[in-house]
Amino acid sequence: MKRILTTVAAVVLAVAGCGAGGGSGNRISIATGGTTGVYYVYGGGLAKELSSGIANTQATASVTSASVENIKLLASGKAQLGFSQADTAADAVNGKDTFTAKQPIKAIARIYDNYAHLVVSPGVDATKVADLKGKRVSLGPANSGTQVVARRVLQAAGLDPDTDVTKQQLSINEAVQAAKDGTIDAFFWVGGLPTSGITDLAVSRPGMKLLDTGEVLAKMQSTYGEQYVALNVDLSTYKLSGTIQTVGIANVLLVPDSMTEQLAYDITKTLFEKKSELSAVHPEAEKLDPAMGQQVAPVELHPGAARYYREKG
């Protein structure tokens, strides 16, 4: 019986590692996010390029709650490639906060920076983060990187996310609809520019606002480190006027550390060589750059990805 279980375990690990690049039957499930977020759109484009660019490979993009869930899917072998915010990935490799143990993941690339969106529903009186006290606020879905950032933003503004707001845990799709219906006062979303659901809300519900969160950045940096940066948002991106500053977080593409070196190399190579095709799917892919791609600390690069970067010089 022990020999049988050992054999089964070996098969599971082989599936999680997806075999060697160019070998027989690579199946890659890409853990992304909600359907109106950038991860899902980007992941769909990447799935197409991996399927056509790596021999004997079939890649598909899966809808998830994003960063935290994606890492858990990678660690369990249920996904072979996943998007994550860098702060959540840092927690994962250090076994902190959401993660009770160090997660068996490696990175293949830093791909673009996420923007913390704090969206206020039309007619709601709020001009800064602290004004959310007593209001109905979605912090993002459970097991999402958005919720990690939302809680930290609120705490940096002096609010307890469990008691000072009426907390909800909505996906981006659900939050946009709730804002339209007037059943929430505000919601957090962490993603690239533009996020289609927020564009839809801005166009269909005049009076929607995006709040400046730059005021809490120094506190977040002193508490959690320099993984959080200041980013400016030209609100014309969302058919609004003006500019705000917000908290920015890098995005990384992760794989199980059990993935074969060749497959990780092939994925990394395809990612950068298909930059123009991916940029046509979503403009955030225009930011792909091998020099930036290696900046994944404290997560370690997968050896296959590291080989690709060495070859690029």
Domain ranges of the chain: 2-111+252-312, 115-249
Per-residue pLDDT of the chain (313 residues; tens, 9 = 90+): 444 333 333 333 333 344 434 445 899 999 999 898 899 999 999 999 999 999 999 999 999 999 999 999 999 999 999 999 999 999 999 999 999 999 999 999 999 999 999 999 999 999 999 999 999 999 999 989 999 999 999 999 999 999 999 999 999 999 999 999 999 999 999 988 989 999 999 999 999 999 999 999 999 999 988 789 999 999 999 999 999 999 999 999 999 999 999 999 999 999 999 999 999 999 999 999 999 999 999 999 999 999 999 999 8
Separation between Cα atoms, residue 21 and residue 70, nearest integer Å:
22
Separation between Cα atoms, residue 116 and residue 118, nearest integer Å:
7
Strand 166-168 versus strand 136-138 pairing type:
parallel
Quote the pLDDT of residue 13. 35
Q: At what angle do helices 145-156 and 67-76 cross, to 10 degrees?
A: 140
Q: Which two tokens stand for residue 242?
A: 């003006």
One-letter identity of residue 303? P
Q: Which two tokens stand for residue 79?
A: 């996904």
CATH for 115-249 (3.40.190.10, 3.30.450.90, 3.40.50.620, 3.40.630.30):
3.40.190.10
In Å, how far are 69, 72, 181 from 196, measured between CA atoms? 22, 26, 18
CATH 3.40.50.970 at 2-111+252-312, yes or no? no
Instruction: Establish whether domains 2-111+252-312 and 115-249 are of one fold.
Output: yes
- Specify the pTM: 0.83
Q: Which two tokens stand for residue 50?
A: 């991996």
Q: Which two tokens stand for residue 56?
A: 């004997």
Residue 259: left (phi > 0), alpha (psi -120 to 50), or beta?
A: beta
